[in-house]
């Protein structure tokens, strides 16, 4: 059945796809928000570390310059001023690079604390140291008194910048934590919405699944009822067919057969009276034609339904059928029976087993190429079993498949199954074929007889 243009299977598949989409969207949203928080924290730490690295370079430049000035004042080397100027040149280059980084990463704080101005004042003061190579006096202390405040101011500016950066990192991390809490709340709300949508999808798909199950149950019930009705119809058709065969056989035997017999007798009497050669020859041909017609009618009557089946029972009918096969085809055939001939069987059982044997023997003659056929009727407890075994060429029997030739196996199986019996067939290439039909009946006293027909 279809609902809103979709089949039940299509609705179920759509529901599963939507649930998978919701899971994918939920996972992506969790990953995105978590990645955003982690990236924010990493950016804060990376910015702080870059700033600290640049400020550390500036502090190192200040200390390096101070140590160079001390060495300058304590050294007696005539070339000490030249070495000091070279060292200060390298220090200024490092300091300028670090100041460029600090201005880029933290321009407001760098400007407010005058970090660049104070560092350059100190370095300029170092570059302005006088040449003391011509005097033997100790360096005047006023130069040191002038440089010390400049160095202290530069170092204090750098330390203030570091403290403020640390405080800023703490503030930003607090904001990240608050943002993480808000993100967690958003995730909870998002998962709540996803759960509600998933429940709605599950409810809709479950509803359609129940409808589909109900439809399948109704369809199965209708199929079972149709199958049962078809089986009843098939059984009724078989009964009507058997009744029609019985009626036709009786009509052929009683009416047509007797009429042909009477015609033959009249022709025989006419032969006794007529003396002329030509009329006598014609009457003789008519007599032979009548006798042939009697035999044909009798064979047709026996083929439709042999009277021996109703008069003498199933064993006698099977024995006659085996003898007829042996006489007609030259196949060596045997028939054995146990205890059925003295007990009347229901007509459906007799008819079913006789038709199975008839079809099996016809298959042996037409298709199997057999030289030996054994028919056995066995009574065991409350079942009656018919076994037909030949030594023919056999065939390859696939599971749940019938042979390619129209051998009537399906008809035999349907006849046996209709009477709650079991039907089995086994065959292999070059190993012959065995057909077994077992029907449930009342207990029958076993009395064994065996008849062999060559």
Q: What is the 3-state secondary structure (H, E, C) of the chain?
A: CEECCEEHHHHHHHHHHHHHHHHHHHHHHHHHHHHHHHHHHHHHHHHHHHHHHHHHHHHHHHHHHHHHHHHHHHCCCCCHHHHHHHHHHHHHHHHHHHHHHHHHHCHHHHHHCCHHHHHHHHHHHHHCCCCCCCCCCCCCHHHHHHHHHHHHHHHHHHHHHHHHHHHHHHHHHHHHHHHHHHHHHHHHHHHHHHHHHHHHHHHHHHHHHHHHHHHHHHHHHHHHHHHHHHHHHHHHHHHHHHHHHHHHHHHHHHHHHHHHHHHHHHHHHHHHHCCCHHHHHHHHHHHHHHHHHHHHHHHHHHHHCCHHHHHCCHHHHHHHHHHHHHHHHCCEEEEEEECCCCCCCCHHHHHHHHHHHHHHHHHHHHHHCCCEEEEEEEEECCEEEEEEEECCCCCCCCCCCCCCCCCCHHHHHHHHHHCCCEEEEEECCCCCEEEEEEEECCCCCCCEEEEEEC
CATH number for position 370: 3.30.565.10
Mean pLDDT of 131-142: 56
Q: Based on the fold, state whether residues 204 and 319 are members of the same structural domain.
A: no
Domain boundary residue among 177, 192, 209? Answer: 209
Contacts of 408 (CB under 8 A, 6+ apart): 359, 362, 363
Which has the higher per-residue pLDDT, 343 or 221? 221
Higher pLDDT, 430 or 376: 376
Which of the four pLDDT bands, split at 50, 70 and 90, describes residue 104?
confident
pLDDT at 143 over 80: no
- Residue 27: pLDDT band (50, 70, 90) is confident
What's residue 253's pLDDT? 62
Mean pLDDT, rounded, for 22-37: 74
From the list 445, 435, 414, the residue with the least C-alpha distance to 360 is 435
Out of 41-55, 278-292, 319-333, pick the least confident.
Answer: 278-292
* Position 266 in a domain: no
| Amino acid 239: pLDDT | 67
439: CB partners within 8 A, 6+ apart: 349, 352, 353, 383, 384, 385, 416, 419, 420, 421
Question: Number of folded domains in the chain?
Answer: 2
Of residues 74 and 251, more confidently modeled: 74
**Buried b vs exposed e over 40-67: b needs ≥16 C-beta within 10 Å?**
bbeebeebbeebeebbebbbebbebbbe
Give domain status of residue 341, yes or no: yes
> What pLDDT, on a 0 to 100 scale, did the predictor assign at position 425?
86
Final residue belonging to a domain, choices 153, 186, 209: 209
In a domain, residue 82? The reply is: yes
- Segment 108-118 mean pLDDT: 83
What confidence score (pLDDT) does residue 286 get? 80
* Distance between CA atoms of residues 394 and 309, nearest Å: 30
For the chain, how far is it from start to end, CA to CA, in angstroms?
Answer: 64
pLDDT of residue 445: 43
Q: Is residue 272 part of a domain?
A: no
CB 186 within 8 A of CB 26: no
Contact by Cβ (8 Å): 351, 245:
no
pLDDT of residue 305: 66
Domain that holds residue 12: 2-209
Q: What is the mean pLDDT of the chain?
A: 77
Task: Quote the CA–CA distance of 320 and 312 in Å, as a whole number.
Answer: 11
In a domain, 355, yes or no: yes
The pLDDT-based confidence of 343 (bands split at 50, 70, 90) is low
CA angle 365, 369, 372 (to 5 degrees): 80
Q: What is the pTM of this model?
A: 0.48
Which one of 185, 209, 233 terminates a domain? Answer: 209
Cα–Cα separations (whole angstroms), residue 335 to 8, 310, 349, 362, 429: 59, 19, 18, 16, 24
Average pLDDT rounded to a whole number, residues 161-184: 82
One domain, residues 186 and 316: no
Residue 310 backbone dihedrals phi, psi, to 5 degrees? -85, -30
User: Would 224 be classed as within a structural domain?
Assistant: no
Contact by Cβ (8 Å): 314, 351 = no
> Which CATH number covers residue 70?
1.20.1330
In a domain, 68, yes or no: yes
Q: Are residues 77 and 192 in the same domain?
A: yes
Residue 401 has a pLDDT of 53
Q: List pLDDT tens digits, range 377-417.
A: 887 767 888 899 888 887 776 655 555 454 577 788 888 88
pLDDT at res. 249: 63
Q: Do 150 and 16 share a structural domain?
A: yes
Whether residue 170 is contained in a domain is answered as: yes
pLDDT tier, 7 (very low <50, low <70, confident <90, very high otherwise): low
208 versus 420: the higher-pLDDT residue is 420
Q: Which of 297, 345, 337, 296 is nearest to 319 (CA)?
A: 337
């Amino acid at each position: 059945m279809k609902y809103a243009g979709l089949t039940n299977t299509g609705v179920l598949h759509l529901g599963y796809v939507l649930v998978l989409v919701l899971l994918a969207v939920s996972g992506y949203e969790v990953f995105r928000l978590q990645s955003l928080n982690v990236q924010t924290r990493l950016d804060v730490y990376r910015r702080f570390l870059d700033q600290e690295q640049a400020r550390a370079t500036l502090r190192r430049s200040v200390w390096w310059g101070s140590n160079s000035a001390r060495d300058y004042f304590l050294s007696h080397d005539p070339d000490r001023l030249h070495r000091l100027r070279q060292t200060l040149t390298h220090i200024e280059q490092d300091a300028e690079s670090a100041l460029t980084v600090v201005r880029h990463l933290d321009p407001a704080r760098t400007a407010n604390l005058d970090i660049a101005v104070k560092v350059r004042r100190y370095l300029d003061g170092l570059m302005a140291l006088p040449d003391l190579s011509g005097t033997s006096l100790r360096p005047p202390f006023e130069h040191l008194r002038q440089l010390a405040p400049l160095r202290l101011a530069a170092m204090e500016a750098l330390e203030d910048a570091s403290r403020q950066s640390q405080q800023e990192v703490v503030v930003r991390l607090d904001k990240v934590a608050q943002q993480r809490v808000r993100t967690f709340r958003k995730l909870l709300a998002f998962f709540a919405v996803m759960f509600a949508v998933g429940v709605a999808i599950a409810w809709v798909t479950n509803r359609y699944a129940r409808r589909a199950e109900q439809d399948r149950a109704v369809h199965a019930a209708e199929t079972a009822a149709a199958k049962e009705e078809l089986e009843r119809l098939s059984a009724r058709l078989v009964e009507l067919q058997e009744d029609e065969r019985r009626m036709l056989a009786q009509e052929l035997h009683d009416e047509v057969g007797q009429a042909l017999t009477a015609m033959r007798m009249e022709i025989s009497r006419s032969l006794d009276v007529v003396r002329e050669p030509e009329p006598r020859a014609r009457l003789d041909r008519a007599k032979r034609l009548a006798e042939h017609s009697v035999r044909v009618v009798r064979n047709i009557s026996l083929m439709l339904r042999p009277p021996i089946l109703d008069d003498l029972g199933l064993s006698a009918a099977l024995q006659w059928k085996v003898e007829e096969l042996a006489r007609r085809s030259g196949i060596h055939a045997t028939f054995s029976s146990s205890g059925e001939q003295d007990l009347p069987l229901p007509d459906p059982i007799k008819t079913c087993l006789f038709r199975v044997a008839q079809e099996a023997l016809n298959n042996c003659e037409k298709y199997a190429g057999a030289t030996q056929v054994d028919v056995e009727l066995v009574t065991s407890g409350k079942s009656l079993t018919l076994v037909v075994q030949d030594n023919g060429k056999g065939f390859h029997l696939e599971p749940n498949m019938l042979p390619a030739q129209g051998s009537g196996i399906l008809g035999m199986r349907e006849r046996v199954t209709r009477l709650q019996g079991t039907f089995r067939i086994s065959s292999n290439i070059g190993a012959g074929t065995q057909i077994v039909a077992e029907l449930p009946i009342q207990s029958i006293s076993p009395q064994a007889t065996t008849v062999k027909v060559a």
